[in-house]
Amino acid sequence: MKATNEDLVHAIVSLNNIKKSFNDIVAVNDVSVQIREGEFFSLLGPSGCGKTTLLRIIAGFESPETGDILINDKLVNSTPPNIRPTNMVFQNYAIFPHLNVQENVGYGLQNTKLTSKSIKNKVDEILDMVGLGGFNFRSSSALSGGQKQRVALARALILKPRVLLLDEPLSALDKNLREQMQFELRQLQKSIGITFILVTHDQTEALTMSDRIGVMFDGIVDQVATPEDIYTKPATKRVASFIGNMNFFRSNILSSTAESVRVESDLLGVLDIDKVNIFGGSKAKVSIGIRPEKFKFKKPNGGKKVKSLAGKLIQKTFLGENLLFSLDVGKKANKVYISLTPSGEGAYPKVGENVTVYYSLNDLLAYFEV
Amino acid sequence: MYKTNKLLKIFVIGFLIFLYAPAVLLPIFSFNSSQVISFPLSGFSTKWFGQLLNEDTLHDALLNSLIIAVLSSALATMLGTLTARAASRYKFFGQKVTMGFILLPLILPEIILGVCLLTVLIQLGLNLSLWTVVLGHTLLILPFATLILLSAFNNLNISLEEASLDLGMNAWQTFYKIILPMVTPGLISSLLIGFVISLDEFIIAFFLTGVDPTLPVYIWSQLRFPAKLPSTMALGTILLIVSLILVSFFEYYRRRIEKYSQALTRGK
């Protein structure tokens, strides 16, 4: 029911079969994505996956070789950046060094018919909004990284764009400031209601800020979904291993019915996996994936669905929010990772102990080998 | 180690004396009352400077030199701007070779350049005049202007231009509001260095000027008359001071270019 509602939302940016290459390298390969009006959309992927190129195509700095791009239902393939209803926050902020904060933020309004007094008022208003009230006459070289970021944001938002494009805007900030800005950006986006498209290689950033995420690898968008779905139901093996951690077990397919597929793996034995948890084509081999936090040391209730795996605990790593155990399961030197949230209650197994861990069949995901 | 330090000091002092003694002697003798250029000094006088005021040919030569310096530095800066922009933003066939040819006058002996230019101009049937000197000086200054402006344009981050376009300005507005102010220190240094080079250039001016002498050509002609030597030294003193001031300005603006480029990367 949720899905049908969301499908009705108007697509503000429509990318249809976009392709772009530089010399012989394909940066964006036949990408089609619909970005909905008013959402916080993230393009997530490792460096060099083409996410920045895709953002620059939306901004108008690059033109696609094939495919169409529509912004607000208008074809903008050959519309230059200064006419598009988009504004961008650049990775290095691109603050004009010869202008002060006031002149930087009001820069885009010079082209309008506004009087200098009303420009001044608008600048004051937007500076207050980004938390830089009273910074009007500060020289741009006297700004810290975080302040430059806010100026860049104010300078783009003052033009009231339909879509705000953000190219790794937080990557240059230190951890605490980055987390604070993530929160503020998210709040800001919800309060002004402008569509944000964020490019990032930081999965935490994408997961915490976005309404939806598009995960990109080698110029291809593998999956577009909500953060929850990206994490719990990654559509491809590379999405599964890029977002969070995942244990993989190579398996062969034995048989398949309407609801499930029977597979056999060296470590897990023979299992029936629900078809909804299987992704990809139909080959003879699959990889079974399970998140480290899905393993339990205590046997949960769940009847036939609960399976177990035995091994020797070889390492315990404290990571702050959780504990990571490595389990040696013998066969083929495959290490299995198990993650636990420390509760402070009860003793954990010690390194060197032989333990049995439990998992539910529902937590298994299967990917056909390419 | 202590010993080498001492030797190094002596070397540096000797080196500086060798370098600057002639420049120091120039003002000393220009304030000397005797007509003979030799020690001991006979007395303080400013009469040689006074004499300069009455030399009409000198005034004409100075005016000629100023016109040539202004025009050729402006022309070379304009051409250098186009060259630097092309070299810093675009990749085109034969780019390196073209840049090499533009910078060639840097290493070409001036006397050869002068002879070649003279031959070409005569072949073209042009009369020698101040304009031919302007052309010659433009050619000579262009490599300097190009190198200075190239550093200004290379320091100009392309995302600034993109940001301006993104904020609704067209290419011309972006050039006027962003690129031009950002490269202004480069333009000023290029104009200043071009002006100084043209002002004291002798060989090409000597070959290409017709009946109107430039200042260096005038000074050279005055050396034949021993009586004119002290006032020539006074003139030299003035030129020295003017050049120092101009080069200081040049250095100031050159540092501004660096400051702009640092401002972009700082606080990232």
Q: How do residues A249-258 score in pLDDT, each as one tens digit?
A: 888 888 777 7
Residue A193 domain flag = yes
**What is the SS3 assignment for A306?**
strand
Domain boundary among the residues A191, A217, A235 is at: A235
Of A13-22, A62-71, A248-257, B259-268, the poorest mean pLDDT is in B259-268
User: Distance of CA A116 to CAs A107, A123, B144, Å?
Assistant: 11, 10, 41
> Which of A56, A96, A153, A162 to substitute to test the interface with B, most B CBs within 10 Å?
A96
Q: Tens digit of pLDDT for each residue in B31-52?
A: 877 777 777 777 777 777 887 8
Confidence of residue A4 (pLDDT cuts 50, 70, 90): very low
Residues A109 and A225 in one domain: yes
**Chain A residues with CB inside 8 Å of B259's CB?**
141
Domains, chain B, in order of start with CATH, read 51-265 (1.10.3720.10)
Report the alpha-carbon angle A319-A321-A323, nearest 5: 50
Residues A227 and A249 in one domain: no
Q: Span A295-306, mean pLDDT?
A: 79
Q: Span B174-187, mean pLDDT?
A: 89
Q: Span A210-219, mean pLDDT?
A: 94
Residue A166 domain flag = yes
pLDDT at B49: 81
Q: DSSP state, A82?
A: T
Q: Is A21 left (phi over 0), alpha (psi -120 to 50) or beta?
A: beta
Residues A217 and A114 in one domain: yes
Residue A50 domain flag = yes
Domain boundary among the residues A204, A235, A266 is at: A235
What residues make up the domain containing A164? 2-235
List, as ranges, residues 92-131 from A with C-beta within 8 Å of B.
92, 94-98, 107-108, 110-111
Rounded distance between C-alpha atoms, residue A11 and residue A39, angstroms = 10
Confidence of residue A336 (pLDDT cuts 50, 70, 90): confident
pLDDT at B263: 55
Nearest to A238 by CA among A9, A1, A45: A45
The residue type at A56 = R
Confidence of residue A221 (pLDDT cuts 50, 70, 90): very high
Residues A170 and A291 in one domain: no
Rounded distance between C-alpha atoms, residue B25 and residue B49, angstroms = 16
Of A60, A87, A92, the CB nearest to B167: A87
List, as ranges, residues 254-273 from A with C-beta within 8 Å of B.
none
Residue A240 domain flag = no
Rounded distance between C-alpha atoms, residue B76 and residue A84, angstroms = 38
Please provide the DSSP assignment of A127-169 as one string: HHHTT-TT-TT-BGGG--HHHHHHHHHHHHHTT--SEEEEEST
User: Tell me, what CATH number does A321's domain have?
Assistant: 2.40.50.140
Residue A306 domain flag = yes
Structural domains in chain A (count): 2
The CA-to-CA distance between both ends of chain A, in Å, stands at: 33
Residues A222 and A336 in one domain: no
List the beta bridge partners of residue B32: B44
Residues A48 and A90 in one domain: yes
Residue A105 domain flag = yes
User: Distance of CA B178 to CAs A176, B173, B181, B223, Å?
Assistant: 34, 8, 6, 50
Residues A230 and A297 in one domain: no
Of A341-345, A364-368, B217-221, B226-230, the poorest mean pLDDT is in A341-345
Residues A93 and A209 in one domain: yes
Q: Give the total residue count for chain B.
A: 268
Average of per-residue pLDDT values in chain A: 86
Of B163, B260, B263, the CB nearest to A90: B163
pLDDT of B3 strictly over 70: no
Residue A143 domain flag = yes
Average of per-residue pLDDT values in chain B: 85
Of B164, B169, B264, the CB nearest to A97: B264
Q: Tens digit of pLDDT for each residue in A80-115?
A: 999 999 999 998 889 998 899 999 999 999 888 888
Q: How many beta-carbon pairs below 8 A join chains A and B?
A: 77
Q: Do A94 and B162 touch (CB under 8 A)?
A: yes
Distance from CA of B168 to the nearest CA of A (A): 4
Rounded distance between C-alpha atoms, residue B162 and residue A90, angstroms = 9
Residues A164 and A251 in one domain: no
User: Distance of CA A169 to CAs A60, A130, A149, A181, B116, Å?
Assistant: 19, 14, 7, 10, 57
pLDDT at B237: 87
Of A111-125, A313-327, A329-343, the poorest mean pLDDT is in A329-343
Residues A230 and A249 in one domain: no
- pTM, to two decimals: 0.79
Nearest to A141 by CA among B262, B185, B156: B262
Residues A150 and A204 in one domain: yes
Residues A176 and A250 in one domain: no
Domain boundary among the residues A217, A235, A253 is at: A235
pLDDT at A2: 41
Residue A155 domain flag = yes
User: Tell me, what CATH number does A30's domain have?
Assistant: 3.40.50.300
